[in-house]
Structure 1
Amino acid sequence: MSRTRLSARVIFSMGVALSALSTQSAFAQDADAAPAAEEAESGEIIVTARRRDENLIDVPISVSALSGDALQNQGAIDITSLQDKTPNLTLQIARGSNSTLIAFIRGVGQQDPLWGFEPGVGLYVDDVYVARPQGAVLDIFDVERVEILRGPQGTLYGRNTIGGAIKYVTKRLGNEFEGKVRAAYGSYDQIDLIGQVTVPLGDNFSIGGAIARYWRDGYGRNLTTGVDQYDKDVIAGRISAEFAPSEDVFFRLAADKTVDKSNPRHGTRLVGNLGLPAFAPTDSVYDTRAGIGDDNKVETQGISLTGSIAINDTLTFKTISAYRDGHTETLIDFDNTPGPVLDIPARYDDSQFTQELQLLYEGDRLQGVFGLYYLDARASGAFDTVLGALNTTTLTSGTVKTKSYAAFADVNFDITEQLKISAGLRYTKDDKTGTVFRRNYTGIRSPEFGNSAAIPGLIRTDYTNSRSFDEFTPRVSLSYEPTEDLNLYASYGKGFKSGGFDMRGDAIFTPTTVDGYAPETVDAYEVGMKGAFLDRTLFLNIAGYYSDYKDQQVTIQVPNVVTGGIASFVDNAGKGEIYGLELEARIVPTPSFSVSASLGYTHADYKEFLTFIGGGTTPVDVADQRVFQNTPKWNANVSATWSGDLAGGRVEVTPSISMRSDYNMFEIPNPILDQDGYALVDTSASWTTADERFKLGVHLRNLFDTRYRVGGYNFPGALFGNSIIGYYGPPRTATLTAEYRF
């Protein structure tokens, strides 16, 4: 038996035994013996969804909040685990990537991570907007909580939060010396090492840092080169300094860096081609025969300065300054064979500077935030499209420069103690300049990617163009709170995602690509209820929503046998109708037992889908042939937590099941690629000493070893090697963790 399988079985057996002990102990536990649990389950969950501290029940927005400790206790490996716990959320690692994030909320998002394209779900780290998806698969360490804001957040967060926003909130240092070390060992020789420390230097100044190192063998193998597939090799760190000379003044300087050297994920073939062994599907979905190589590196880093100054009892001034940059070197083997049938070597570079100024007002009946925002960003890159059968390569390269300006205000007025109205407005102006170059070469790879002997051919695209986009995005909500623990609300908000330029655009095949594409918008309506019932033993959030989605930006890539390459279109193709329901419930009958559940329903339907594909120079409406991608109609999660005393400490166990119905990988349905509904069963158990200094945990994920696709590519036809390939979520894993706090 291999060491990997042995370690998994040993940890699995330990987890089952610990779970059984925990379950027996929990039911024997006296309800009054855990005051800390009572405080944790009080329902006073504080979020900053409206840029100020508020009780979650009082916020007229559909928000989910998960603490970093809770995510670690349940064995969450990174923020993609949030999709198993949050209604109508899809978070996945991008196809062919290890650390690029794909995000959809309520059917709205962006799958294409190419430079110049912007996500439809905004990601914020301590209120700093992260413009690019590369390196955005954040690991769960040094985090206080994660907030998921569903629906457009166009007033307060503005920039491209047309589907929603994800806020990653790190922990403040405080003014006490403390730290912790955490280690994990698990299946596939997984090793995680994490350390955090806070060091006060005087009464009002502290420094601190956190570092994390992640190793893991691959779930599969590259049968051509012999290296691991779906492995992990990441180092990440953060360092910060906090200065608080008084209760009214706070400044924080923070820096972070992540380096990911994991091997590229090449996917697996789903269909064969001409009966050739090299083109046949592999026995394991995690194996590949890709021959393009195994070099892959993603580096992201940033620095930020945030400050808060209380001017008086009602006014507070805040400033958020940040700079971030990233570099990616990657390889994508579209054909998954040893030869260069359809290979894509690529690199991306990006940088951004942002500055935000806020003025917060906190009065007896009026609260509000007023702000200015500025972004200066540059995204560039290059890739080759190699067609080995024709001995040709098409080089694509380019740059998008963006300057964005915004002014916003959001106020809340208490009409009465029970009736409140909130309104906001944001004005955004984006100036964009795009440069795109495409050229054919004879030979395998272009000079840009190492083949100096390649013979230059036809220039297909060569332009620089500029466009400006601007939009007002209003928001209004009405809340009625008949009691302190019940909030009934209705809201309207508008979302806006800027237009841009297609970095793959082929000016010969589609001459209009030089004009770029227009913005997309969403008008969203929501009614909801948030409340605590039965003496605060039942917490219930319910929301129903309707969205009118206009001018949706859709990226379509199709094989083009005429030009011997891949034709790309970014069309403002879609006009859609989306409506659905979200439910989150938490039942806490005793301090030692709780149940959490969530349910999401999304009905997404295109009312218009205009495209030039198959239509020559006249756009054709194919709405009846298109579907929303990455949007299951149903998703649900149920988990239960038992806790109790054991061996001088406290034991806790949390089994859970998450379910997702069928969903499509792209707008064009494909029964080979599209994923059927599936369920994932996890369980975690932990034991903590009475002084809470030491914790031992076991985390079992995907217990039934379910295989499910999270991405794919579709390039059928002999010229492209009939390349239909899929990427898969993790198999069954078991992890043992140990943590010590000091």
Structure 2
Amino acid sequence: MITRRGLLASSTALLLASIAVPASAQEAETAAAADAPDDSGDIVVTAQFRGQRLQDTPIAITAVNEAMIRDKGLDRITDITNSAPNVVMKPSGSIYGPAATLFIRGVGQMDSSFAVDPGVGLYVDDVYRGITFGSLLDLLDLDRVEILRGPQGTLAGKNSIGGAVKMFTKAPTGDGHGYIEVTTGSFRRIDAKGAADFTIVPDRLFARVSAVTRHREGYLKRLDYNCTHPGQTQAPTASATDRDCIAGREGGQDYTAARLALRWLATDTIEVNIAASRLVDDSEPTATKAISLNPAAATTPGFPDRSVFITPPNSYTNYSTYQIQGFTDPPALLGQPGAGTHPAIVYPTNNRIRAWDIAGTIDIELADRLSLKSITAYQYTDGRYSTDADTTPFGISGSMNRQRYKQFTQELRLNGSIGSLLDWTLGGYYFNGKGYLFTYNIISPGLPNETVNLADDYIPTTSKSVFAHGVWHVTDRLNVTGGIRYTNDEKSYSFQRLNPFVPTLPAYTSAGKINGLKSTFKGDRWDWRVNADYKLTDQILAYAQFSTGYRGGGVNPRPFVIEQALPFGPETLNAYEIGLKTDLFDRMVRLNLSAFINDYKDMIFSNTAPTIVNGVVLSAANGTPVNAGDGRFKGLEAELALRPADGLTIDANVSYLDFQLKRIGASGATITGITLANIAPYVTKWKAAGGIQYRFDIGDMGSLSPRLDVAYQSSFYTNIDNNPASLTPGYTIANARLSWQSPDKDWEAVLAVTNLFDKFYYQNTFRGPAISSVTGQPAPPREWSVSLRKSF
């Protein structure tokens, strides 16, 4: 059995050994990655535990290095969405707070709840992040990002059924180099970031410090309805602060992060890396706009036509107040403790995240062709966000959510080789997460079906696994790879549904029956992978692979009535893939192709249908995860990179994804509108992106590099019922940049325009059946920015 105590003891022993053992060196995979040049053809990735050239790695993987991040002007993790085929990364809708929605090949997660395992694993320096809340990470001081498509059931970290996104920061080298960069632009944007690398003890101890701060005004305006409609029926006021009737904004940023990394070459064979980071985020809520509104008439007294609260199409506006007006509980509840007449409630109008983490990696070269790696990490996140789900002046549906999360992880890997015949890895992984959720939730106040409760939930999770991986070099051109992993998971959810006005008592609404309920999921799983790759020529690699993936079960984290407090089981996935990686014409042309079929069993979808028992609607609000049935994904992917002339680069990718629901189970049949013809959420059938850049030499004045990027994404649904209201339309957007670099390459200035043609489009949509509303998250309009960077 793998125990936390045993893994901690192993880590302590390794740290002590770093002082006593008389030799040390960085493990081959880390050294190779750190030494990788900027030329994308030589990016070294560590997806298979060892440093390998990207083109020699026989899996579907996209790597984005520092030069590409800068050339494309990428700021945070979701900006990478157009750099890889069949990858959809979006900021989550406001109902899920400040989080990233990540999907790869149709598999992912849009719910930021701690109770649901991410479908796509997110890593920083090989440390897994167990939650998506607070995952809109800045691309600060990175060496590269690896995007692995397909299940990662047998490789490093925790199983990820859909794929993995791995961010690798720059390691200290002690070279004394660094940079400072400042940016200004639209919406009063002021950004600054920088890094510095220096030596503490020559040849032994090095440090690197990096930091970023981003500030900008929100692009969506919250308007005071009474101010914009003078002389009409009065609605609850949002207290406009200026004559433009603006009461506040959404979509703004107030974000600061910093990182300190230490690298100690303890001996010739031992290296210790320690990194700590801190995040302070007080950004505005996600921009949210009403698309359709038809709540109960009683929720908007004096306004029988609720469509008046839908602002004009293509305008970045809403009428949100983040307030619940004073209300009286329905007669059926009066007389219960806490029930009665309640004053107005005002929610905070900004998000708040305070997070920090620390990680230690020890690399020990035990002998020739034998090395040991230990990765120990602790993460802490404390955050708060509010939602105004109806976006009207009336408090029809609102909540204030506070989330705290603690995570400890430990990974051990033993890497070895048997001559030139076999490379092998044995490893163990331990994950312990503790989530605390505090939610003040009010829906349809004063109506018979009102939801009024205070949630105070506890979600502990543990995952233990052991894994083995081997590559058999059959010939100089043929390799056979195998991997296996055993995982044991346990996840509990303890519910409290309290009375917000008398917090020592259960809620006086129907949610009170949930108070004290506890549910636990326990499960184990064997995952495996087999892969064969063959070099047809020195420039062409072909591979074929079968792999499996798994996502653990749990319980519905958001039941509104006890009938919705239901468990759900695990999902499993069998993936079949073939691929081709080529470097042609003296590496002027690179074309990578992949095709896959993923058989997905017991798929988890949200049941948004009203909960009805014996003909009585117990709750119109619902979002219960259920194992709906089985499906099949089929897809094609292509990535192209051209270097037809000095200074000219062209990159492009295109993907096709088809989904077919093969079976609907008993739980799935309870979802209103589900049929075998329906398409899974976030499945974009077509996705394509391309960029072109040319570097002009202007002599003593340095160089100019114009760049144009264009991206297309087809429409997708956000619910399995495929209600037309949940369809997010497709779009095409373009970004442009013009950069100047000094002759010594120590100064750089950039003029950039995003959303060049000022396209209005939604990044996602959300349908709220409980209040008959549909809202969308509009992407930012056209924005310009100017940056100045000094390298030293």
Q: Do both proteins adopt the same fold according to a TM-score greater than 0.5, normalized to the shorter chain?
A: yes
Q: Highest relative contact order (Cα 8 Å, sep 6+), 1 or 2?
A: 1
Quote the residue 2:686 is aligned against. Answer: 634
Matched, 1:364 2:364: no
Quote the residue 1:332 is aligned against. Answer: 387
Query: Structure 2 matches for 1:194-205, cutoff 5 A?
Result: 194-203=193-202, 204-205=204-205
Shift in alpha-carbon separation, 1:276–1:346, aligned structure 2, 3 A: same
Quote the residue 1:379 is aligned against. Answer: 435
Quote the residue 1:577 is aligned against. Answer: 632
Task: Out of 572-581 and 380-389, give the one that drifted further.
Answer: 380-389
Deviation at 1:40, TM superposition (A): 4.3
Shift in alpha-carbon separation, 1:347–1:648, aligned structure 2, 3 A: same
Give the distance between the partners of 1:683 and 1:231, measured in 2 at CA. 22
Shift in alpha-carbon separation, 1:458–1:206, aligned structure 2, 3 A: closer
Query: Structure 2 matches for 1:243-262, cutoff 5 A?
Result: 243-262=264-283
Matched, 1:607 2:662: yes
Query: In 1, are the aligned partners of 2:609 and 2:672 still within 8 Å (CA)?
Result: no
Query: Structure 2 matches for 1:199-598, cutoff 5 A?
Result: 199-203=198-202, 204-224=204-224, 225=238, 226-265=247-286, 267-273=288-294, 274-276=304-306, 279-282=309-312, 285-292=315-322, 293=347, 294-362=349-417, 363-383=419-439, 384-390=441-447, 392-438=451-497, 459-461=512-514, 462-505=516-559, 508-510=562-564, 513=566, 516-559=567-610, 562-564=617-619, 566-598=621-653
Query: Structure 2 matches for 1:3-152, cutoff 5 A?
Result: 40-41=38-39, 43-96=41-94, 99-152=98-151
Query: In 2, are the aligned partners of 1:339 and 1:388 still within 8 Å (CA)?
Result: no
Query: In 2, are the aligned partners of 1:124 and 1:168 still within 8 Å (CA)?
Result: yes
Aligned counterpart in structure 2 of residue 705 of structure 1, from 729, 733, 758: 758
Deviation at 1:77, TM superposition (A): 2.2
Query: In 2, are the aligned partners of 1:73 and 1:697 still within 8 Å (CA)?
Result: no
Quote the residue 2:235 is aligned against. Answer: none
Give the counterpart letter for 2:276 in structure 1.
Answer: A
Shift in alpha-carbon separation, 1:392–1:508, aligned structure 2, 3 A: closer
Give the counterpart letter for 2:747 in structure 1.
Answer: F
Quote the residue 2:243 is aligned against. Answer: none
Shift in alpha-carbon separation, 1:153–1:48, aligned structure 2, 3 A: same
Quote the residue 2:778 is aligned against. Answer: 728
Matched, 1:670 2:723: yes
Give the counterpart letter for 1:553 in structure 2.
Answer: I
Shift in alpha-carbon separation, 1:86–1:687, aligned structure 2, 3 A: same
Deviation at 1:157, TM superposition (A): 3.1
Deviation at 1:637, TM superposition (A): 0.9
Quote the residue 1:181 is aligned against. Answer: 180
RMSD: 2.3
Q: What SS class does the counterpart of residue 509 from structure 1 fall into?
A: helix
Deviation at 1:587, TM superposition (A): 1.0
Shift in alpha-carbon separation, 1:43–1:661, aligned structure 2, 3 A: same
What's the % identity of the aligned pairs? 28
Deviation at 1:703, TM superposition (A): 0.6
Query: In 2, are the aligned partners of 1:158 and 1:426 still within 8 Å (CA)?
Result: no
Deviation at 1:246, TM superposition (A): 4.1
Deviation at 1:508, TM superposition (A): 3.2
Deviation at 1:672, TM superposition (A): 3.2
Deviation at 1:570, TM superposition (A): 1.4
Give the counterpart letter for 1:374 in structure 2.
Answer: Y
Query: In 2, are the aligned partners of 1:68 and 1:141 still within 8 Å (CA)?
Result: no
Q: What SS class does the counterpart of residue 206 from structure 1 fall into?
A: strand
Quote the residue 2:695 is aligned against. Answer: 643
Shift in alpha-carbon separation, 1:590–1:39, aligned structure 2, 3 A: farther
- Residue by residue, what CA displacement relative to the aligned partner does 1:416-468 show, whole Å, maximum 9, x if unpaired? 111110000010001222212335x5xxx6556xx999867762213123331
Shift in alpha-carbon separation, 1:364–1:261, aligned structure 2, 3 A: same
Give the distance between the partners of 1:613 and 1:377, measured in 2 at CA. 30
Give the counterpart letter for 2:629 in structure 1.
Answer: G
Deviation at 1:566, TM superposition (A): 1.6
Give the distance between the partners of 1:98 and 1:644, measured in 2 at CA. 44
Q: What SS class does the counterpart of residue 683 from structure 1 fall into?
A: strand
Deviation at 1:611, TM superposition (A): 5.4
Q: What SS class does the counterpart of residue 198 from structure 1 fall into?
A: strand
Deviation at 1:232, TM superposition (A): 0.5
- Residue by residue, what CA displacement relative to the aligned partner does 1:667-721 show, whole Å, maximum 9, x if unpaired? 122333412221111111211112221111112111111122122321247xx2x
Give the distance between the partners of 2:306 and 2:560, measured in 1 at CA. 32
Shift in alpha-carbon separation, 1:389–1:620, aligned structure 2, 3 A: closer
Query: In 2, are the aligned partners of 1:60 and 1:489 still within 8 Å (CA)?
Result: yes
Query: In 2, are the aligned partners of 1:121 and 1:162 still within 8 Å (CA)?
Result: yes
Give the distance between the partners of 1:621 and 1:630, measured in 2 at CA. 17
Query: In 2, are the aligned partners of 1:585 and 1:597 still within 8 Å (CA)?
Result: yes
Shift in alpha-carbon separation, 1:101–1:620, aligned structure 2, 3 A: closer
Give the distance between the partners of 1:276 and 1:714, measured in 2 at CA. 16
Give the counterpart letter for 1:631 in structure 2.
Answer: V
Query: In 2, are the aligned partners of 1:386 and 1:394 still within 8 Å (CA)?
Result: no
Give the distance between the partners of 1:673 and 1:498, measured in 2 at CA. 27
Query: In 2, are the aligned partners of 1:306 and 1:318 still within 8 Å (CA)?
Result: yes
Give the gaps of 5 or more residues in structure 1. 1-37
Q: What SS class does the counterpart of residue 84 from structure 1 fall into?
A: helix
Quote the residue 1:659 is aligned against. Answer: 712
Deviation at 1:283, TM superposition (A): 5.5
Give the gaps of 5 or more residues in structure 2. 1-35, 225-237, 239-246, 295-303, 323-346
Task: Out of 259-268 and 528-537, give the one that drifted further.
Answer: 259-268
Give the distance between the partners of 2:601 and 2:404, measured in 1 at CA. 30
Query: In 2, are the aligned partners of 1:121 and 1:160 still within 8 Å (CA)?
Result: no
Deviation at 1:332, TM superposition (A): 0.9
Query: In 1, are the aligned partners of 2:674 and 2:720 still within 8 Å (CA)?
Result: no
